[in-house]
Amino acid sequence: MNVFSRLKNMNILLIDDDEWIRDAMRVFFETEGCNITVLETAEEALEVIHRQNYDIVICDYKLPGIDGLAFLRQVRQTRSDVLTVLITAYKTADLVSEAKNIGVHGFIAKPFNSETIEASLSHLIARAK
């Protein structure tokens, strides 16, 4: 089964402070018929996530204000059912260990492309079955 056929039935939230990444990811997912909300900061996302249910949250690690890991920690405390992915160019053993301890399900390493995203989400969804 194509990963996008599963994603079409899910709500996705992306948080990244890089406008190019937000725009590119929005176009990528919307072209595949997926429901995606893109936001610039974790603070914005904290407001939105209490009003809307998301199945997958994809968040950059380095954000202004609350960083992605702190944000995902807060999400996991209130929404243990949401699948979480951390985007990072700073993937160290300590970061991976801390992320796994709070329940982050997957990682997307920067730089990435559409194939990387598709493979990561396909793996994530397969594990979540």
pLDDT digits (tens, 9 = 90+) for 16-61: 999 999 999 999 999 999 999 999 999 999 999 989 999 999 999 9
For the chain, what is the mean pLDDT?
A: 92
Q: Tokens 């801390």 — which residue?
A: 98
Which of these, 67, 33, 38, 69, lies nearest to 52 by C-alpha position? Answer: 38
Q: Tokens 């997926």 — which residue?
A: 34
Fold classification of 3-128 (topology level): Rossmann fold (3.40.50)
Task: Give the residue extent of every domain in the chain.
Answer: 3-128
- The structure tokens listed for 17 are 């402070």
Confidence of residue 13 (pLDDT cuts 50, 70, 90): very high
pTM of the model: 0.94
In angstroms, rounded to a whole number, what is the distance separating the alpha carbons of residues 73 and 82?
12
Q: What is the largest CA-CA distance in the chain?
A: 39
